[in-house]
Homo-oligomer: A and B are copies of this chain.
Amino acid sequence: MRIAVTDGIDPGAKREIEEMGHHVHEKHYSKDELLNGCLSEFDVVVIRSATKMTADVIEASTGDKDGLSLIIRAGVGIDNIDSESASANSVLICNTPGASTNAVVELTIGHLISSSRHIVTGDSKLRNGIWAKNELRGSELRGKNLGLLGYGRIARGVGRIANAMGMNVHAFDPYVQESTDDCVFHDNVDSLFSTCTHISIHCFLSDETRHIINEKLISKMPVIGEDGIRCGNHIINCARGGIIQEEDLFKALQSGNLTSASLDVFETEPALKNTLLNLDNFQATPHIGASTLEAQRRIGEEIVSIIISHSSGQVPDSCLN
């Protein structure tokens, strides 16, 4: 098979695929090249989030019978793929759902602690010659309520570690109402926000979730922790940009309705001119939730297994359409 890789791949996985006799072409294409059908020369395209497989791109890639038959999303979220158009053009979509779970789980816990304990600010001030020991009093996570918006694999992983840290874990997910985990389920997002001083987002971006977190919802957060400590309100998003209304987030951080916010994802990426970056009670990473050596290796392993299935005429396990 002819396989285009547009946003990078683990070198070990590339080698393995080539050793199976497939041709791997690694190149990032411009929007114009994609619209001009450059992918129609390939059977398979492996993308991450940077390549946008819009309806127009998919149609241009499937112009002749020999065109694209499989899109592999190295990662989880497929909001950069028009799945209706893919299905209509007989293009399968696969992702690598489990590969990045633990990487995102750990980053989420890292952001939770880092923001409530001012790790980023402490380092930055020290590098600017300021020993801000007395200004940087933080709050602990133990004894606080953590609200998980969405309760899939990543949320469950975060919940398990949060439990071990002594947090009370709460969740709202319209598609999951109960589990054996130590977690309190809520009927609606208002109830989750009214209960939790700490919120972490773990849902997909969809019409249902776009801008679901706005100023009104943030203003419901309790400020005072379940343990009686005035720890303020904190939000983490390592899921997808666009779930939080960023203008409202900015206002809430400025007004003090939010004590801190930590984002790994943004409505517009790369997020270089984002006004949130001017705020001291905001911290950010550049969409590195899945950027670990371990996740890249696991994604590579899943890609290899999808290509083995597809080349032998089977539908891969992780096929989404």
Contact = CB atoms under 8 A, between A and B. Distances in A.
A294 B117 CA distance: 12
Nearest to A296: B137
Given A114-B114, A117-B110, A138 B291 contact: yes
Interface in A27-52: none
B292 A122 contact: no
Nearest to A125: B286
Given A140-B295, A161-B165, A293-B229, A107 B111 contact: no
Interface stretch (A59-67, A83-91, A268-276, A310-318): A268-276
Given A102-B140, A140-B294, A126 B271 contact: yes
Interface stretch (A127-135, A168-176, A245-253, A300-308): A127-135
Contact of A120 (B119, B136, B137, B163): B119
A97 interface: no
A288 B122 contact: yes
A227 to B, nearest CB: 7
A167 to B, nearest CB: 10
Contact of A106 (B141, B283, B295): B141
A22 interface: no
Nearest to A103: B140
B231 A293 contact: yes
Interface in A206-251: 227, 229-231
Contacts of A272: 126, 129-131
A123 interface: yes
Interface residues of A, number: 60
B288 A136 contact: yes
Interface in A71-110: 102-103, 106-107, 109-110
B286 A132 contact: yes
Contact of A117 (B131, B269, B283, B292): B292
A136 B106 contact: no
Nearest to A278: B127
A291 B140 contact: no
Given A229-B297, A270-B133, A286-B136, A113 B123 contact: no
A61 to B, nearest CB: 25
Contacts of A283: 119, 123
A319 interface: no
Nearest to A141: B106
B111 A119 contact: yes
Please name the 8 residue pairs, one residue from A and one from B, whose CB atoms are nearest each other, closest first: A110-B113, A131-B270, A164-B164, A122-B285, A133-B286, A140-B294, A131-B286, A120-B123
Given A106-B140, A122-B288, A126-B277, 11 more contacts: A102-B142, A110-B110, A110-B114, A114-B119, A118-B285, A137-B288, A138-B292, A138-B293, A140-B294, A160-B164, A231-B293
